[in-house]
């Protein structure tokens, strides 16, 4: 499975993945998913929002145990972020069949569309639409860097953009959603556990800063006469780092767009996207407020106009303790809050928070959700260098199989 998926959407130069929503690479990933479902005799569905489902048993029986993740990537993302959860779900089902497990509840494997928001700027579009956290109108307003709207992109990929929207009936079928994901950090690497359980997801969001100045000649315009938005942008990036350090949070300007983007032209406009995350809402608000204040102060000195737009936001997610602790018991640990420090109780499975967003976080508002993390020896993610050891991936499949068996199967 892994080897069949690996070449899809991989850039030969960077060796990173470019699997953006509703592109050809996304379509090839979707075909891969459908083939895996068919190969296992699973009932395949694609829902009104383009999320894919592979069912074992009767979905209408309700109280289903669902697992899965996403297949799309960030620009030049790694091979594991998303796909490890989907591949491990199919492999865990194969394992359960090898064990002769008998299912007492329906089981589904899901691929949620556009989790990374790499093309249209909003994270978790497929799961947000399903959970009613994004309206059809809001989704239709999404536009990519080439001016292609989300509806146009969906239509070109053969999907009906007017069908998208909340899907409460579908979510009502779900009794529990468990997402396996490569850890995007090194907490597990500090323990001798290849698998951990998620406790929480930090609140996080994306803000677009538009710095509007005055285009002019780089060679003939006196410094005093300039209204250069690049200066304001640069000062804001440095202010973001200071604000994050002061607050024990994170802040990143990872994407910037310059108009007209000419070497010998003072820009008319610089657009910078801030990604900021913090352990709680108050801290996150304080960081973003400080960054915006610093940007406004500098804009005033540079004669630059500033507009700030929040493009994506996910509040803190506290995974429900009952499901979390049941999973910890299945995996053989005490679990119940075995300490935020993953190494706190060596006998138990580590329970750890994360600053990375996930579909399990979005769906947590509608259904009981949980996450399993697979050890990432370097912690690197959102990079072609992202990697997990095969033994740890196998341990993840076995752990997911144990969890699915414990939740969905008759105790044999």
Exposure string for 24-33, b = 16+ CB within 10 A, e = fewer: ebbbbbbebb
> 139: phi > 0 → left, psi -120 to 50 → alpha, else beta; which?
alpha
For Mn ion, the closer CB: 81 or 302? 81
Can you read off the two tokens belonging to residue 127?
Answer: 């799961």
Q: Which does 82 bind (CB under 5 to 8 A by kind): Mn ion, ligand HGY, none?
A: Mn ion
> Looking at 92, 93, 107, 123, which residue binds ligand HGY (CB under 6 A)?
123
Which one of the spans 48-56, 74-82, 151-159, 278-286 is the region binding Mn ion (CB under 5 A)? 74-82
Cα dihedral 54/408/396/29 (nearest 10): 10
Using the rule CB under 5 A, is 82 a contact of Mn ion?
A: yes
Residue showing the smallest CB distance to ligand HGY in the complex: 357
Which of 220, 216, 224, 231 lies closest to 262, judged by CA?
Answer: 216
Q: Which does 228 bind (CB under 5 to 8 A by kind): ligand HGY, Mn ion, none?
A: none
Rounded Cα–Cα distance for residues 321 and 323 (Å): 6
Rounded Cα–Cα distance for residues 335 and 348 (Å): 6
Quick one: angle between helices 281-302 and 229-247, nearest 10?
A: 150
Residues 343-372, one symbol each (x = binds ligand HGY by CB under 6 A, - = not), give -------------xx---------------
Q: Which does 26 bind (CB under 5 to 8 A by kind): Mn ion, ligand HGY, none?
A: none
Rounded Cα–Cα distance for residues 297 and 301 (Å): 7
Using the rule CB under 6 A, is 114 a contact of ligand HGY?
A: no
For ligand HGY, the closer CB: 26 or 115? 115
For ligand HGY, the closer CB: 95 or 116? 116
Which one of the spans 97-105, 115-123, 240-248, 383-391 is the region binding ligand HGY (CB under 6 A)? 115-123
In angstroms, give the least distance from the CB of 70 to Mn ion: 6
Rounded Cα–Cα distance for residues 377 and 25 (Å): 28
Assess contact for 259 and 276: CB atoms under 8 A: no
DSSP state of 238: H
Q: Which does 357 bind (CB under 5 to 8 A by kind): Mn ion, ligand HGY, none?
A: ligand HGY
Q: Using CB under 6 A as the criterion, which residues of the chain lie in contact with ligand HGY when the complex forms? A: 115-116, 123, 356-357
Residues lying near Mn ion in the complex (CB under 5 A) are found at 81-82
């Amino acid at each position: 499975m892994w080897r069949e998926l690996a070449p899809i959407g991989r850039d030969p130069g960077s060796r990173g993945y470019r699997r953006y929503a509703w592109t050809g690479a996304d379509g090839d990933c979707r075909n891969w998913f459908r083939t895996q479902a068919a190969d296992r005799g699973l009932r395949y569905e694609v829902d009104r929002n383009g999320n894919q489902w592979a069912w074992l048993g009767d979905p209408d029986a309700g109280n289903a145990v669902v697992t899965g993740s996403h297949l799309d990537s960030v620009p030049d993302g790694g091979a594991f972020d998303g796909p490890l959860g989907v591949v491990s779900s199919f492999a865990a089902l194969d394992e359960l069949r090898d064990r002769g497990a008998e299912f007492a509840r329906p089981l589904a494997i899901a691929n949620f569309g556009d989790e990374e928001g790499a093309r249209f700027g909003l994270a978790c579009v497929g799961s947000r639409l399903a959970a009613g956290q994004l309206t059809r109108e809001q989704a239709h307003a999404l536009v990519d860097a080439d001016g292609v709207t989300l509806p146009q992109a969906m239509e070109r990929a053969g999907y009906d953009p007017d069908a998208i929207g909340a899907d409460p009936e579908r979510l009502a079928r779900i009794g529990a959603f468990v997402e396996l994901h490569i850890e995007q950090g090194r907490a597990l690497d500090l323990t001798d556990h290849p698998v951990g359980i998620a406790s929480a997801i930090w609140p996080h969001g994306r803000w677009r800063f538009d710095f509007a100045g005055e285009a002019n000649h780089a060679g003939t315009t006196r410094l005093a006469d300039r209204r250069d938005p690049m200066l304001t942008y640069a000062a804001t990036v440095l202010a973001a780092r200071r604000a994050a350090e002061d607050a024990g949070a994170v802040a990143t300007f990872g994407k910037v767009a310059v108009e007209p983007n000419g070497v010998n032209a003072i820009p008319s406009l610089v657009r910078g996207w801030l990604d900021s995350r913090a352990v709680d809402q108050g801290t996150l608000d304080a960081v973003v407020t400080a960054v915006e204040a610093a940007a406004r102060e500098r804009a005033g000195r540079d004669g630059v106009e500033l507009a700030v737009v929040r493009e994506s936001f996910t509040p803190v997610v506290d995974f429900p303790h009952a499901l979390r602790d049941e999973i910890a018991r299945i995996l053989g640990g005490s679990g119940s809050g075995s300490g935020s420090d993953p190494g706190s109780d060596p006998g138990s499975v580590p329970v750890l928070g994360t600053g990375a967003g996930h579909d399990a976080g979005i769906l947590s508002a509608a259904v009981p959700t949980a996450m399993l993390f697979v050890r990432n020896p370097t912690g690197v993610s959102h990079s072609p260098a992202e990697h997990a050891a095969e033994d740890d991936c196998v341990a993840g499949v076995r752990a997911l199989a144990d969890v699915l068996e414990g939740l969905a199967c008759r105790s044999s």
